[in-house]
Every structure is written in C-alpha cells, then in structure tokens.
Amino acid sequence: MALLAGKMAWLSGAAGAGGTGGGRRAAAASTWFPGEMAKTRRLIRENLPLVGLVIEVADARAPRAMRHPGLKGLVPGRPVLTVLGKADLADPSVTRRWVEFLGRTSPSGDGVAVFSGGRGREVRAIAGLARELGRARSPRAPVRAMVVGLPNVGKSTLINRLCGRASARTGDRPGVTRGKQWLRAGDGLELLDLPGILVPGRLPDPVALRLALLGILPDHAFEVTRVALFALDLLAEAHRLPAELCRGEESAAFGLLERFAEVRGHVRSGGRPDLERAAAALVRDFREGRFGRFSLERPPDDAGRGAPVHAG
C-alpha cells in the first residue's frame, strides 16, 4: 500500500513473484498513480489542524498490504483508529488475531475495530470508539475525524453506515471519491472523507498482486489473467478450489484457468477457452467471497507467517 505522488509509477511484471508460477508470460504491470494522490497527501496536511482523530480503513483480508506505513508521520499528534473493513469476506479467526496484534503493537492512544459492512451494534461501536479516542486528545465537541485509506477499500461504505444515509459515493472501482467531503455522523462526530491514498514508487509484486486481486489497483495495473493465476495458486494452496476444478490430474494454475473457462462456458469460436473472460469472472468471484471467507495475510507473529488462510 502506498502514498502515491507524481504522474505514473511502474511495477515489474516478472513471472513467479508472489506465488504466481514461474515460466509463464507476464506483461509488465503499470499501476495507476495519478497526481490526485499527491493532492490527497496535501489535503491531509492542510486539514490536519481541523481534526482530532484519523480513521484509516483497511481490508481485513490483507491488513498489512492495505495500511499506509508512513501514516503516523503524516498525521503527527493525532490518534489513529484502524478499521478492518470487509471483515465478512475474511477468515474470522485470522481477523481476531489481527485485532489482537494491532492492539498490542499500535502506539498508545490508537485503536482498532472491525467492520463487516452492516449496520447496528458494530457501527455504534466504531462511532463510540472514534468519539472516545478523539475526545481523549481534545474534549470539546464535536469530534472531527479524517477518514483515509487506499482507493476502493470501503471508506465510503463505512462513512455511509456511520452517517445512516448514502452521504458518500460508493463504487467498485478505485477513485470514486474525487475531493474532500465533510459529513455529519451524529452524536458529536463529524467526518472528513478524502480521496484514496497510495505510497509512491514501486510496490513489491506480491503486495501489488494482493491489491490487484482485492480490487484496490485499477484493472489495467495487471493483466487480468495474471491476477487470476495468482488467485488460483492461493486457492490451491489453501485447498479451496471448487470441486469442478479438482477433477483430473491438472494442478497447474494455467490448466485450472482453462478448466474454469470450460466449466463457465467462456469459450471462443472453435472451442478454445476464452482465458481473459474466464480470468475476469474468477477474479470477480474471489472479490465477492464466492470461494469462501479467505484471508491473504496473517499477523507477522503468527506461525506460518504471511501465509494465505481461509474459513470454509
């Protein structure tokens, strides 16, 4: 994850990184790091005096890849509440360990919460924790919080639940939030929604592939077939391949993608599998949780450090 500045940054497309399998052709991947990311960084600095709290939203399936490593340096003197969103798509036992790890290793005065996308008790708990952390620094009401996170990570969904209405636009592609927005969440809590932020420079391929698989990077960052092959490797390692893909002896990701194309009816004229259509369908299914609740990262102090895990 990353704070992006400058016009464009480029990612290496070397095959084999991040468990995608060596020997296959992989086109060089470019990430979409427009100047708007530098604008977001400037907005954070300009508006920091107006807020007493920063809420960072991260996808619970890959918290390490999603969190900005330099955020505390960008928001000195402000507590940070980390919200692990889309938790309904992650392995719940791994998410609990992430909450414990972040609670144990974060600076004093920071907090961590889990968000599954719904309403009710979970949202009230997040709002209550935000008010508690904000008032510990500045007891005057209302608590004003800045909401930050990677593009398409789910910031707007969280804000809409906290506000009880569709106040912030949501979408299934990065870059839906174009400028800053102040929104009232009620009960003495006001939220500043900012466009997504990323880190400048090159991302390691394993991290970039996780971000691409979870829909954080735009679709043109990697060839969709490469992202699908990465997903198939993860599913095979975790023994989560659909039953229809487990027939026969084929176990290589490329062969599995061909079989997925045949099963789904993604076939070109002449009976050849349409791998691009099949790859897009497979990546979409993964993002929507159709292969089960799946976490791509464990906390660093877990056994089997960093290995993908799942819940059936």
Please report, rounded to a whole number, the percentage of residues in the chain having pLDDT higher than 70: 77
Q: Who wins on pLDDT, 20 or 103?
A: 103
Residue 15 is assigned to a structural domain of this protein: no
How many structural domains compose the chain?
2
Q: Tell me, yes or no, whether 94 and 212 share the same domain.
A: no
Q: Tell me, yes or no, whether 241 and 181 share the same domain.
A: no
Residue 123: phi and psi, rounded to 5, are -70, -40
CA 287 vs CA 17, 30, 74, 94: distances in Å: 21, 21, 30, 18
Residue 29: phi and psi, rounded to 5, are -105, 130
Task: Evaluate if residue 4 carries a pLDDT over 50.
Answer: no
Q: Whole-angstrom Cα distance, residue 308 to residue 105?
A: 22
Residue 85 is assigned to a structural domain of this protein: yes
Q: What three-state secondary structure class fits 179? A: coil
Residue 30 is assigned to a structural domain of this protein: no
Residue 255 is assigned to a structural domain of this protein: yes
Q: Which one-letter DSSP state was computed for residue 139? A: -
Task: With beta carbons less than 8 A apart as the criterion, state whether 98 and 67 touch.
Answer: no
What pLDDT is stored for residue 15 in this prediction?
A: 30
Residue 170: phi and psi, rounded to 5, are -120, 160
Residue 226 is assigned to a structural domain of this protein: yes
Q: What is the DSSP string of 1-32?
A: -----SS-EEE---TTGGGS-TTS----EEE-
Task: Evaluate if residue 242 carries a pLDDT over 50.
Answer: yes
Residue 183: phi and psi, rounded to 5, are -140, 145
What CATH number does the domain containing 189 carry? 3.40.50.300
Residue 28 is assigned to a structural domain of this protein: no
Q: Tell me, yes or no, whether 168 and 214 share the same domain.
A: no
What CATH number does the domain containing 285 carry? 1.10.1580.10
Task: Evaluate if residue 25 carries a pLDDT over 50.
Answer: no
Residue 175 is assigned to a structural domain of this protein: yes
Task: Evaluate if residue 77 carries a pLDDT over 80.
Answer: yes
Q: Tell me, yes or no, whether 133 and 270 share the same domain.
A: no
Q: Tell me, yes or no, whether 234 and 185 share the same domain.
A: no
Q: Tell me, yes or no, whether 119 and 143 share the same domain.
A: yes
Q: Who wins on pLDDT, 25 or 134?
A: 134
> pLDDT tens, 255-271?
999 999 999 999 998 88
Q: Who wins on pLDDT, 275 or 199?
A: 275
Q: Tell me, yes or no, whether 179 and 86 share the same domain.
A: yes
CA–centroid distance for 268 within its chain: 33
What pLDDT is stored for residue 8 in this prediction?
A: 22
Q: Tell me, yes or no, whether 220 and 272 share the same domain.
A: yes
Q: Tell me, yes or no, whether 232 and 162 share the same domain.
A: no
Q: Whole-angstrom Cα distance, residue 292 to residue 46?
A: 42
Angle at 311 between CA 241 and CA 265, to 5 degrees: 30
What pLDDT is stored for residue 195 in this prediction?
A: 79
Q: Whole-angstrom Cα distance, residue 95 to residue 295?
A: 8
Structure-token pair, residue 119: 């309403």
What pLDDT is stored for residue 42 in this prediction?
A: 83
Q: Tell me, yes or no, whether 239 and 306 share the same domain.
A: yes
Q: What is the extent of the structural domain holding 266? A: 205-311
Full-model pTM: 0.80
Question: Where a domain ends, among 127, 161, 193?
Answer: 193
Average pLDDT, stretch 284-305?
A: 85
Residue 258 is assigned to a structural domain of this protein: yes
How much of the chain is in helix, strand and coil states, percent to nearest 5?
40, 15, 45
Question: Where a domain ends, among 193, 227, 258?
Answer: 193
Q: Report the candidate in 152, 157, 163, 149 with the shortest Cα–Cα distance to residue 194.
A: 149
Q: Tell me, yes or no, whether 114 and 51 share the same domain.
A: yes
Average pLDDT, stretch 121-132?
A: 94
Distance from the first to the final alpha carbon of the chain: 28
CA 116 vs CA 16, 29, 66, 243: distances in Å: 33, 31, 16, 28
Q: Which one-letter DSSP state was computed for residue 247? A: S
Q: Whole-angstrom Cα distance, residue 168 to residue 160?
A: 6
Q: Report the candidate in 96, 94, 90, 147 with the shortest Cα–Cα distance to residue 117.
A: 90
Residue 206, preceding peptide bond in cis (omega within 30° of 0): no
Question: Where a domain ends, among 193, 227, 244?
Answer: 193
Q: Tell me, yes or no, whether 48 and 182 share the same domain.
A: yes
**Among 106-110, 161-165, 205-209, 306-310, the least confident range:** 306-310
